[in-house]
Amino acid sequence: MPAQTVNGSFTLPFNGRAYELELDVSWDAANNVGVSVGRSANGSRHTNIGKYGNELYVDRAPSDLSGYSLAPYSRAAAPIDANARSMHLRIFVDTQSVEVFVNAGHTVLSQQVHFAEGDTGISFYSDGGAATFSGTTIREIDAST
């Protein structure tokens, strides 16, 4: 997939329930950059994976399902250099989990998720300035095994 510069959000032309997503993200002025996985068609449901300030986070709150809410434990975070202006992400997504490996596994986060049947999209986002998403590869995984 060609590099994509985003200032706001960009929805990828992909839908899948189980996949590995690998990419590089770089930015100069943006203060919040990341990827939304398990995105519904209208964007209202998703799990965000990103960097804000000195934190790397996985926020699954927008993908909560009634009766399966994990609040108030909907966000996991780990420290990252506040001055970092790039990161390499390797993300594994399936119907019930999101696992994130940052910079060759230097930081790892994992969250249980509750995706609905149509939560199959991916989008990139950047707030406060542009970010470039490059080297993006998506490998579908057979979720039946």
pLDDT single digits (tens) 34-48:
999 999 999 999 999
- Condensed to tens digits (0 to 9), the pLDDT of residues 130-145 reads 999 999 999 999 866 5
Q: Is the pTM above the cut of 0.75?
A: yes
* Average pLDDT over the chain, rounded to an integer: 93
- Condensed to tens digits (0 to 9), the pLDDT of residues 4-14 reads 999 999 999 99
**Measured torsion, CA atoms of residues 65, 68, 74, 76, in degrees rounded to the nearest 10:** -120
Model pLDDT, residue 63: 85
Give all strands (DSSP E) within the chain, no chain letters.
4-11, 19-27, 32-39, 47-52, 55-59, 75-79, 86-93, 97-102, 107-112, 121-140
Flag residues of the chain having pLDDT under 50: none
Q: How far apart are CA 145 and CA 137, in angstroms?
A: 22
Buried b (16+ CB within 10 A) or exposed e, 115-134: beeebbbbbbbbeeeebbbe
User: Comparing C-alpha atoms, which of 109, 104, 129 is closest to residue 37?
Assistant: 109
Q: What are phi and psi of 116, to 5 degrees?
A: -80, 170
